[in-house]
Amino acid sequence: MAKAEDAGINRRDFLKNAAAGAAVLATPHVAPARPTETNLAKNPPPMSREAEVETPAPVEVLTEERSGSDFMIDVLKSLNIEYVCSNPGSSFRGLQESLINYGGNKNPEFITCMHEESSVAMAHGYFKIEGRPLGVFAHGTVGLQHAAMAIYNAYCDRVPVLIIGGNILDATKRMPPVEWAHSVQDAAAFLRDFTKWDDCPVSLQHFAESAVRAYKTAMTPPMMPVLLIADAELQENPIRADLKLRVPSMVLPAPPQGESGAVLETARLLVAAENPVIVVDRTAHNAAGMAMIVELAETLQAAVIDRGGRMNLPSRHPLNQTRRAYQEISNADVILGLEVNDFWGTVHSFRDQMERTSQLIAKPDAKRISIGAGGQLYKANYQDFQRYPELDLDIAADAQATLPSLIEAVKKQLDANSKSALQARGARFASARLQSLQSDREAATYAWDASPISTARLCAELWAQIKDEDWSLVSSVVNFVSNWPLKLWDFNKYHQFIGNSGGYGIGYNAPASVGAALANRKYGRLSVNIQCDGDLMYAPGVLWTAAHHRIPLLTVMHNNRAYHQETMQVQIMADRHSRGIDRAKIGTAIDDPDINYAKLAQGLGHYAEGPITDPKDLRPALQRAIAVVKKGEQALLDVHTQPR
Amino acid sequence: MNTQPYNRSAGSKEVEHKQQKRFVKGWSVLVACLIAILATSSPAFPQQTTKLGDSQNGKAVYEKLGCTQCHGAQGEGVSGAGSNAGVPRIASTRLSFTDFLQQVRKPKGQMPPFSTEKVSDTDLTDVYTYLQSLKPASEQPVSTASASKGERLYRDYGCYECHGFQGQGSSSTGGARLGPPRIPFSAFVSYIRQPTGEMPPYTAKVVSDEDATEIYNFLRSIPPPPPLKSIPLLNQ
């Protein structure tokens, strides 16, 4: 409950009362006849007797030194929020003005977005590179509704975002008609299923403590978005001179580690196993996490299957057996999942025909161990928690935080005599990895000169141009190009891959790439985005955001001119009914007319070329575009590609 | 509260259970052995074309042992998508007979070992010979008209959605590499009618045998890709 002394002076009440008082003094109870404009000019009305003899009405106070939103910005600065992504809105006008003037528009800096979904997805992509959250300002009603899909993606992907929604809770302070339509009793209600925590502070000190709590909550594994409602009255009312406000100190909690006995047992099983397999997904939070995954794998000489939620393991590491996942999972006697979102799907295959069937691909007696915090805080309504996995050991802890003790336990339990066996196992994997690479390269030769351009050719040409740069693939759609980057490129640094969207909500990739590129900017990295056409068209305005804020970014369109996944889905149904598939493109094709992404991008401030249809034209176009990006600008190449 | 079981899950579980039971019992034991064989196959394995046994008996043994359940009637295999690698194509096998035998007896992968009590070396020799016989259609050239018509049909029927415009396949759709085809026409048409993997079935009502022939001819007309060594971009 708000304390009266915390509430500050109510500006709107003050103005309203002052105006009302003046009105009472200055006008009779019976309203005079309404003067016309002509009459006023010719015959100004005489002063009333009361007005002539009474004390003049007080002058309206229309300015103030500081308002609550200044203090809110102080709080955000204390959290070291680097940017706030936002599409402007009146319910947080106080915050916005305080940020750009009082806060100097720096730490945080206001990033102008053209859709709230873009704001949140940018924050999502930024976190994947930088490892800390961005702020997002949005209307508590229409803004958060726009943002909802991106918030769901971040929730599924266990990514923290600090969202601040504006609202006017006091019904007497809402200006009709828009502010009524943009006000809400419980702004967080419809997001509560896929945010970790929310609050609606009623005083400035309450705001400060809740903001710090929100940040801590979001950043504690399992990380998720959090929402704070900043009431417009609280933002805009002056801070009373005698009000003592304080920004609370903040320390992030140590992440939860695995129970020591369970960790020892895990180590024992791994060391005793003939074919241990490590499966990683949303595992590494940063480069240190990646190094520990490598250390564990090398200590055991165990195969690692990377499900791609984060940058976990160098793509060409000899123990990276992701391309041979089926063989390794089916051959394993111990399977250790580290923050694996879908353990059931890791050990089963699933067939989508008339009768949907599944089959266990792991050995029935293979030991299954899970270490993860990601699955410890799911909600009931949305089903992203996947099918129930049967496990032999389930350790509720952050995997990266548990890795040091697990590695130590494994090293202690390893017998010196096992060295030669481990070496032999490692040699087998090294050989298999080389074979996979060779096989992938062979596969890439097919349709090499085709038009539309094969996705293999596109990715090989792109790799040739960036491999000697400090590059970062800020794209989450590698699966839509048949995973060619992961097959052909040498990923070996944490910032080179940002994983996937989490909730598979389309429209994520374009803004996430801009957010990740924003994080890369200060390090001078070359951010490269392979961009699906359908995804970009959800909210292409984010290209303007990149240009406006001088975020260097190379976008290469994977323009297959269709919602291709959905085309295949309709085909499946049409085939099932033997109705012919010639109409399967109705509702799924993005052609007639083909969208000219080069012109679109040019209109949004990018250097752009295309459509490129001849693979021989790719190399020079890429070279020109990269030269532009290296100058700190944005470039887009529209490439007509094969479906996948 | 709804206490009715969710049919699809229940059905899936039942099938899963049955499949596991059958899996352990053994008819598909050989099938999985063959999975392992092809899973480890690569162009590095030497081609062996020598006829070692009786192809007709090999076909009978292949069918009797239920290899068709996973590998299809013509050894065409099953494409998988994502982490599901599917079942390898085994027609025509590129393993040497020694490697083939080794993999069947002591497989790596999903299936348990397959002993001499279940299938003799002689029968495996015949199976191997049968698998070798499952080669693509004759080397007769495809007419330009037929290839052109086949290409149009290939596009019209949306084959390219999963397999690419030149039949190059895709690991993300699970569409197998088709061009140039590595299985005989009979296997090709058999598979599109009754696919064992994720591919939707194309009945004769949708794709006639004549149209399937033209599509197959188009796939045959696709030239082999350039040698890997000739593409510097793929060697870095």
Distance CA(B209)–CA(A445), nearest Å, equals 30
Q: Is residue A622 part of a domain?
A: yes
Asked if residue A464 has pLDDT above 70, the reply is yes
- A170-182 exposure pattern, b = at least 16 Cβ within 10 A, e = fewer: eeebbeeeebeeb
Instruction: Return the ∠ at Cα A102 (arms to A96 and A105), rounded to 5°.
Output: 60
B16:A454 CB<8 A: no
Report pLDDT for A43: 57
CATH number of the domain to which A382 belongs: 3.40.50.1220
Q: Is B1 on the interface with A (CB under 8 A)?
A: no
Please indicate, yes or no, whether residues A467 and A390 belong to a single structural domain of this protein: no
What is the SS3 assignment for B20? helix
- The pLDDT mean for chain A works out to 92
Chain A touched by B176 (CB under 8 Å): no
Strands B86-87 and B78-79: antiparallel
Backbone φ and ψ of A343, nearest 5°:
-70, -40
Interface touch B166/A579, C-beta < 8 Å: no
Q: Give yes or no: residues A135 and A186 share one domain.
A: yes
Rounded to an integer, the average pLDDT of B50-60 is 79
Asked if residue B50 has pLDDT above 80, the reply is no
Residue range B144-223 forms a domain whose CATH class is mainly alpha
Alpha carbon of A215: minimum distance to chain B alpha carbons (Å): 36
Position A377 scores a pLDDT of 83
Beta bridge partners of A641: A453
Give CA B147 to chain center in angstroms. 23
Cα A122 from Cα A515, distance rounded (Å): 4
What tens digit of pLDDT does each residue of B75-90 get? Answer: 766 555 444 455 666 7
Cβ neighbours of B171 in A, within 8 Å:
482-483, 487
pLDDT of residue A64: 81
Angle at A296 between CA A295 and CA A297, to 5 degrees: 90
Does any domain span residue A429?
A: no
- What is the gyration radius of the CA atoms in chain B, in angstroms? 19
CATH number of the domain that A162 lies in?
Answer: 3.40.50.970
Q: Enumerate the H helices of A285-362 as residue ranges.
A: 287-300, 325-331, 343-347
Judging contacts by C-beta atoms under 8 Å, the chain B residues touching residue A585 are: 158
**A141 Cβ partners below 8 Å, 6+ apart?**
A91, A167, A181, A182, A183, A184, A187
- pLDDT tens string A554-597: 999 999 999 999 999 999 999 999 998 888 899 999 999 999 99
**Structural domain range at position A151:** 68-236
* Res B111: pLDDT: 58
Q: Is residue A59 part of a domain?
A: no
Cβ count near B46 (within 10 Å): 9
B174 touches chain A (CB under 8 A): no
Q: Is the pLDDT of residue B24 over 90?
A: no
Q: Give the separation between CA A561 and CA A364, rounded to whole angstroms.
A: 44
Residue the block writes with tokens 């330009």:
B144
CA dist A56 and A296 (Å) reads 81
Q: Please check whether residue B82 touches A, CB under 8 A.
A: yes
Nearest Cα of chain B lies from the Cα of A611 at a distance, in angstroms, of 18
Distance, in Å, from the CA atom of A454 to the CA atom of A641, rounded to the nearest integer, reads 6
Q: Do A447 and B225 touch (CB under 8 A)?
A: yes
Considering only CB atoms, B110 lies closest to which of A361, A445, A450, namely A361
- Phi, psi (5° rounding) for residue A419? -55, -45
Residue in chain B lying closest to A580 (CA): B206
Q: Which residues of B touch A461 (CB under 8 A)?
A: 233
| Site of tokens 């063959």 | B34
Asked, for residue A249, whether it belongs to a domain, the answer is no
Cβ contact (<8 Å) for A345 and B11?
A: no
Q: Are residues A567 and A529 in the same domain?
A: yes
Cβ of A441 within 8 Å of Cβ of B235? The answer is yes
Distance between CA atoms of B168 and B177, rounded to whole angstroms?
5
User: Number of folded domains in chain A?
Assistant: 4
DSSP-derived secondary structure for B187-207: HHHHHHHS-SSSSPP--TTTS
Question: Is the model's pLDDT at A53 over the cut of 70?
Answer: no
Q: Which is it for the CA torsion B150, B156, B162, B164, positive or negative?
A: positive
Q: State mean pLDDT over A515-527.
A: 98
Cis peptide before B43 (omega within 30 of 0): no
The answer to whether the pTM exceeds 0.80 is: yes
Of B80, B108, B170, the CB nearest to A331: B108
Chain A residues closer than 8 Å to B36 by CB:
327
Q: How far is CA B31 from the centre of its chain?
A: 12
Among B159, B166, B168, most A C-beta atoms within 10 A, so best to mutate, is B168
Q: Where are the beta strands (DSSP E) in A126-254?
A: 135-139, 162-167, 197-199, 226-231
Side-chain half-sphere of A505: how many Cα atoms within 13 Å? 25
A255 belongs to a structural domain: no
Asked if B121 has any chain A CB less than 8 Å from its own CB, the reply is no
pLDDT for residue A85 is more than 80: yes
Pair (A454, A526) in one structural domain: yes
* Residue A381 CB-density burial (10 A; 0-12 exposed, 13-18 middle, 19+ buried): exposed
CB atoms within 10 A of CB A299: 18
Is residue A419 in some structural domain?
A: no
Query: How far apart are the C-alpha atoms of A175 and B227, rounded to whole Å?
Result: 72
- The reported pLDDT for the residue numbered B69 is 67
Q: Does A23 reside within a domain?
A: yes
- The pLDDT of residue A21 is 39
Whether B200 sits inside 8 A of A576 (CB atoms) is: yes
Question: Which chain B residues contact residue A350 at CB under 8 A?
Answer: 84
Q: Which two tokens stand for residue B191?
A: 């598979």
Interface residue B26 vs chain A (CB under 8 A): no
- Six-digit token string for A246: 């304080």
Structure tokens at A392: 């032999």
pLDDT band at A72 (very low <50, low <70, confident <90, very high): very high
Sign of the C-alpha dihedral computed for residues A417, A421, A427 and A429 taken in this order? negative
Window from A114-118, A348-352, A409-413, A580-584 with minimum mean pLDDT: A580-584
Mean pLDDT to the nearest integer, B147-170? 94
Residues of B in contact with A349 (CB under 8 A): 80, 84
The larger pLDDT score, comparing residue A327 to residue B109, is at A327
Interface test with B, best of A351, A386, A504 (most B CBs within 10 A): A351
Q: Summarize the confidence of residues A75-91 as an average pLDDT.
A: 97
**Size (chain A), residues:** 644
Going by the DSSP 8-state scheme, the letter that residue A562 receives in this structure is: B
B161:A481 CB<8 A? no
Q: Are residues A167 and A296 in the same domain?
A: no
Q: How far is B62 from chain A (nearest CA, A)?
A: 23
Phi/psi of residue A637, each to 5°? -115, 125
- Is the pLDDT at B195 greater than 50? The verdict is yes
Q: Above 0.95 for ipTM, yes or no?
A: no
| pLDDT, position B39 | 36
Q: Which one, of A126, A100, A207, A255, lies nearest residue A135 by Cα? A: A126
Task: For residue B102, give how far its alpha carbon lies from the nearest alpha carbon of chain A (Å).
Answer: 16
pLDDT at A56 over 90: no
CB < 8 Å to A435, chain B? 42, 44
Secondary structure string (H, E, C) spanning A85-141: EECCCHHHHHHHHHHHHHCCCCCCEEEECCCHHHHHHHHHHHHHHHCCCCEEEEECC
Regarding whether A394 and A279 lie in a shared domain, the answer is: yes
Q: Of the ranges A43-47, A228-232, A350-354, B178-182, which is most confident?
A: A228-232
- A306 with A383, same domain: the answer is yes
Mean pLDDT of A522-535: 98
Verify that A211 and A300 share a domain, yes or no: no
d(CA A313, CA A308) in angstroms, rounded, equals 9
The one-character DSSP state at A194 is: G
- Which residues, other chains included, contact A174 with Cβ-Cβ below 8 Å and sequence gap of 6+? A168, A180, A183
Is residue A638 a contact partner of residue A629, using CB atoms and an 8 Å limit? no
Does A242 fall in a domain?
no
For chain B, give every residue range classified as CATH 1.10.760.10: 18-133, 144-223
A452 shares a domain with A406: no
Q: Do A438 and B42 touch (CB under 8 A)?
A: yes
Class for domain B18-133, per CATH? Answer: mainly alpha
